Amino acid sequence: MSTQRRNRRKRRIAIVGAGPGGLTLARVLHIHGIPSTVYELDASATARDQGGTLDLDEESGQRALLHAGLLEEFRPLSRPEGGELRLLGKHADVGFHIPPPRDGDGNDRPEIDRRVLKELLLGSLPEGTVRWGQKVKAAALGAAGRPALTLADGTTVEADVLVGADGAWSRVRPLLSDADPVYTGVSFVDGLLNDVDTRHPAVAELVGRGSMFALADEKGLFAQRNGGGRIRVYTAVKAPEEWSRSGLIDPADPADPADPAAARKRLLDLFPDWDEGLRALIADSDGPLVPRPIHALPIGHRWDRVPGITLLGDAAHLMSPFAGAGANLAMLDGAELALALAAHDDLETALHAYETAMFPRAEAAATQSADHLVDFFQPDALRIMRDAFTTMTAGGADR
């Protein structure tokens, strides 16, 4: 083993957060013979619902998997048919349709459930790489100038490289930046329908095999087919942040916000004259409805170099989901950071090279995301998005 490789193996690399970006970073480092440790708050990989499905882009998410040596394993786990897209009006009138790919047709953005992707990445890492149930209480620069983590149990962990892959409310980001996520003015309410082909066949037919967007009245109903016969529903409304945080409370209605039926009624009341099939996405949901205010970091967020510390994914460039770029960018960040660390003996040269490429890429995606957020909530959003999808597909879909 060369001296350079031995030195790289001695680096202590601490990654905070076991999301797609953090796990991709750990995997690509492992391929290059560089160990790392991932500190994750969740008690296990199955401690909570991992969320919906992702469409992995050829130039970002799939490229990251290629660097991770997992692209061929990804393909049979993905769902190319998830590329179907339906754009509807409030009366379920079809404004635009991209049919599912025919057999043999390619799809450069196949879908994969977040849970399945996480299992793929975790299964590729040496046992013990992820330290589950490790809450980071604080991150700081130690006396020797090295970054250090203080865990909830009082343990202090020093590192040569500390990577914040810990999402919107990153504990690592304050070491680099005083920027905080800002509420965008839009909130989602997440719901789930199970066993849809048997229990909710009309909803299954309405949504199709991929994604459905229904837009009108400056609000939206978004539905997304997942594996295992499930459909995720995202009700999107412009609302004060307090509306989302308070559990759908109507100030004029003292109903218990913890009452699922009351919350469902308050949400349905926002869509009084919408098609009953669309309203069924809310009315027939299984389990609780979960409010989720949408936040974003400033477009073009960046920081000056602080030795040994960097960020990736939402910790670096949180944006609204309206560009479909979050997980894709996080995975590409992770892969490119690992490649930079493998390519350079000097850590600061590696981190500078990574950030120099990441900053403009993230800024472009954040700009697109912010623009699309505005477009989705215009009074004529259906026309705006129909025109946008028409341009993107250049005549390759039913209209």
- Known binding site: residues? 48, 55, 114, 314
Under a CB-based contact definition with an 8 Å cutoff, are residues 221 and 233 in contact?
Answer: yes
H or E element that contains 260: helix 260-268
3-state DSSP of 342-363: HHCCCHHHHHHHHHHHHHHHHH
What's the token pair of residue 333? 């960040």
- Best CA proximity match to 133, nearest among 256, 17, 251, 43: 43
* Alpha carbon distance 366, 371 (integer Å): 9
Give the phi and the psi of residue 274 in degrees, each rounded to 5: -85, 155
Mode of pairing for the β-strands spanning 85-88 and 211-216: parallel
Contacts for 297 with CB less than 8 Å, ≥ 6 apart: 179, 180, 181, 182, 316, 317, 318, 319, 366
* Alpha carbon distance 59, 74 (integer Å): 15
- What count of residues does the chain have? 399
Give the phi and the psi of residue 116 in degrees, each rounded to 5: -65, -40
Q: Which residues are annotated as a binding site for FAD?
A: 55, 114, 314
Q: Which residues are annotated as a binding site for NADPH?
A: 48
